[in-house]
Amino acid sequence: MGMSWWRRRRSIWDEFFRDFFEEFEELERELQRIARRFSMLKPEEFMGDIEVRGPYIYGFSITVGPDGKPIIREFGNVKRIAGRPSIGEEREPLVDVFEDEKTVTVIVEMPGVNKEDIKVKASETSLVISAQTGDRKYYKEIDLPAKVKPESAKANYKNGVLEVKLEKIGKGEDKGFEIKIE
């Protein structure tokens, strides 16, 4: 029983894997046949009346937050709306926000626009950046990690990278007013 049983068992597995890999080989042959057929066609012959829009830009950045958890930031002009991709005219640029004791620094990548076409609006808690040059449009609203003095903002744009530095509002420096207790 020892050796014949093992041979029968082995032959069942051999047959299974042979059939399994034959299916993949057949699928590969079919895909090669389809690729050859499409390579002979002009794009308009197989695209038909499909409207081609673009460019499509999508990416993401992963950083580790102060709590040790990953932070994923998406950028580009492809957004998910109700679980489906939607292509917008405006691109969301890649943004990094850095904070130290006295300042908040925002770095924004916006290649292909001129300095004169960039608009930056600051409030104590957020920054809105937009730009438009020809077919390139960028827009991003950024929530800042701390309250800042909007009037302290200094911006610099070089080689497609915008840097905005803002001073933090120190303790006791909040723009609220003091309430006298009677």
Q: What is the pLDDT of residues 147-156, one digit of tens each?
A: 999 888 899 9
DSSP classification of residue 168: B
User: How many other C-beta atoms can be found within 10 angstroms of the C-beta atom of residue 127?
Assistant: 24
Residue 181 has pLDDT above 60, yes or no: no
d(CA 107, CA 97): 6
Q: Which residues pair with 138 in a beta bridge?
A: 91, 131
Tell me the per-residue pLDDT of 114-124, one tens digit each, with 9 for 90 and over. Answer: 989 999 999 99
pTM of the model: 0.58
Closest CA to 118 of 105, 106, 129: 129
Residue 7 has pLDDT above 90, yes or no: no
Tell me the per-residue pLDDT of 84-116, one tens digit each, with 9 for 90 and over. Answer: 776 777 888 889 999 999 999 999 999 989 989
Supply the mean pLDDT for the chain: 79
Which of 6-20, 52-66, 130-144 has the lowest average pLDDT? 6-20
CATH of domain 58-167: 2.60.40.790
Q: Where are the domains of the chain?
A: 2-44, 58-167
